[in-house]
Amino acid sequence: MNASAPTDSARKKQLLELAYAHVLEHGLAGMSLRPLAEAVGSSPRVLLFLFGSKDALVQALLGRAREDELRMLDALHLTPRQHGLAQAGELVWGWLADPGHRRLLTLWAEAYTCSLVDRSGPWAGFARRTVDDWLHVFAAAQEPALRDTPEGLAERTLLLSVLRGALLDLLATDDHSRTTAAVTAYLRVLAHPRP
């Protein structure tokens, strides 16, 4: 990053929010600085001065998207509930399936995929951090005796896999009824496992 660039100026924060709104609408793939700068009322030179590079701007945008995700995860921690993965899964699916979150989740899917393809670029580590964030939330919903066992890790990994798969299917097809029915069926099994 340019040593003289302000690290936390009001203008930088404002442009990050404007750029974030833009990428929520248009995605990050193939993002070019000139059209982005025009869309946010700035110039490529100013964006480069404030963020240091296009890669650093992409990282800042991914960080901003992650803030929204973490806010939702924090809200789950604050929701009074009994321990239980099925209930946590139900709360998470309710948030994931909400049409109001579609743009954020489409951006998440794009960033997740780019992170798998470009492991050394600005996306590096995004997918891994996302997995860790979700597993941490689900661990908090498990009974303490199960949480730190291999079975506990497998149980929350399976829940994450079901939710992530259903989310990708929902984003691809917009079939809320079918994907919700599938998630509900799995959560019913999770809540009442067969002996």
Cβ atoms of residues 51 and 57 within 8 Å: yes
CATH class of 1-52: mainly alpha
| Whole-number Å distance between alpha carbons of 23 and 58 | 10
| Residue boundaries of the structural domains of the chain | 1-52, 66-191
Give residues with Cβ within 8 angstroms of 182, minimum separation 6.
Answer: 162, 166
- The pLDDT assigned to 46 comes to 93
Give residues with Cβ within 8 angstroms of 144, minimum separation 6.
Answer: 83
- The pLDDT assigned to 195 comes to 65
| Whole-number Å distance between alpha carbons of 15 and 171 | 28
- The pLDDT assigned to 73 comes to 74
**pTM of the predicted structure, to 2 decimals:** 0.82
Place of tokens 């780019």: 114
Length of the chain: 195
DSSP symbols for 50-105 = HHSSHHHHHHHHHHHHHHHHHHHHHHHHHS---S-HHHHHHHHHHHHT-GGGHHHH
| Whole-number Å distance between alpha carbons of 104 and 24 | 6
Tens digit of pLDDT at every position of the chain (195 positions): 444 445 568 889 999 999 999 998 888 877 889 999 999 999 999 999 999 998 899 889 988 988 888 887 777 665 545 568 999 999 899 999 999 889 989 989 988 998 898 878 888 888 999 999 889 889 988 888 889 999 999 999 999 999 999 999 999 999 999 999 999 999 999 998 766
- The pLDDT assigned to 141 comes to 87
- The helix (H) or strand (E) run that includes residue 153 is helix 150-173
Q: Which amino acid is at 22?
A: H
Cβ atoms of residues 4 and 15 within 8 Å: no
Nearest to 142 by CA among 155, 123, 131: 155
Cβ atoms of residues 151 and 57 within 8 Å: no
| Whole-number Å distance between alpha carbons of 162 and 195 | 22
